[in-house]
Amino acid sequence: METIDFAKITDITRQDMIRQALSFYDITVMSIEALNDDSDAFKLTDSAGTRYFLKVYGKSNDGDIVPGERVYHTYDQIQLESEILHLLSGSASKTAAPVKNIHGGFVTALAPETDGEPVFATVTSFIDGLTEKHTEAPTPETAHIAGVSAALLHLESKKLLLPIAAKRPHKRQEYIQKMQDRIAQGIKIGSITAAQYEMISQCCDAIIDCMNQLDKDPENNVGLVHTDIINGNIVFAQNRGTLIDFSRSVYSYYLFDLAEMCLHGNFGGSSPELQRAILCGYHSVKPLAEYDLFAMQALFAMFILTIMAMCIESKGNAWMESVLKWFADEVHPGLIASTGYMDPAIFKGIL
């Protein structure tokens, strides 16, 4: 292990964790590079020049509706994520392939953090190509590729992944109820009013109605959903995209991925041109129906309400105040009328 070049990893605690993780793998690592600001993703290069990807899973970025609740970074969930990658690496999606440790497992347990929380690690193959930074805007070309990549994932889910996907965290009707219960606490706290909560409740009813409609054809609508298909989680090479980072994948509605891609401000939400490119790319592989365009908007409302539930204890939150106004002016009326709240011109000629 003394051959490792830690020049770019200055945190001593993180160095020790990396050394511990790599002691479980039969890889002679010559250099290592941090790939994000959280210092939990690293590129490894071995003595033959082969590159690998090391991921460390702690309690950071593990929350969902309830802050501090372990959801995605448990041993069982990381094992499921590795099994998903194992299947997808040999499919049309061509994702990274997990590497087994010296004990024959995909997941390696490390010494707990100082607070006693468990830490795990995995190693996969490294996907070569260009990964755009989260701050860089996609182009219509990359947005189209992203749409194609999402559709391919959903088709592979239908063929390969349903038994595993069903064991991932669910974002379906029960999730909406849990989210709604969490938001209700804001009335007592004073972060939302009773009238605002009533509006949110009506939106939740519309979302559940939409889910019930999609459940009439579960084979084509429900399965593994990535939940974070943005520039930083797609590797672009040779006019195709490879999805990475399935750590927050869930069992939900395929249109939830499309909703986040089209409406999230960090991706398609910044441009109608990008939204059309994403939708056209997706539709070229997994055809959309007219109802899907409304359902997509309902599921994006779920995404926004999830964030609201996470920060419901924060009074005077400027983001929440702006979102509540947006819901009152556009989202709520659009969901109640079953028309949606996106500009219909975006969808013209796609189907």
For residue 191, being part of any structural domain is answered with yes
Do residues 116 and 203 share a domain?
no
Query: Mean pLDDT score of the chain, rounded to an integer?
Result: 92
Residue 66 has pLDDT above 90, yes or no: no
* CATH number, position 245: 3.90.1200.10
* CATH number, position 97: 3.30.200.20
- Domain range for 18: 12-125
Helix ranges, 49-105 (H): 75-88
Average pLDDT (288-298) is: 97
Average pLDDT (202-213) is: 98
How many Å apart are CA 87 and CA 75, to the nearest integer?
19
Contact status, residue 120 vs residue 82, Cβ threshold 8 Å = no
Contact status, residue 120 vs residue 107, Cβ threshold 8 Å = yes
Which 3 state secondary structure label does DSSP give 132? coil
Do residues 73 and 16 share a domain?
yes
For residue 5, the model assigns a pLDDT of 65
- The residue with greater pLDDT, 188 or 13, is 188
Do residues 299 and 210 share a domain?
yes
Q: For the segment 219-256, what is each residue's pLDDT rounded down to a tens digit?
A: 999 999 999 998 889 999 888 999 999 999 999 999 99
For residue 2, the model assigns a pLDDT of 45
For residue 312, the model assigns a pLDDT of 95
The string of DSSP letters for 150-173 reads HHHHHHHIIIIIHHHHTTSPB-SH
Do residues 46 and 100 share a domain?
yes
Instruction: Give residue 226's identity as a one-letter amino acid code.
Output: H
For residue 133, the model assigns a pLDDT of 53
For residue 136, being part of any structural domain is answered with no
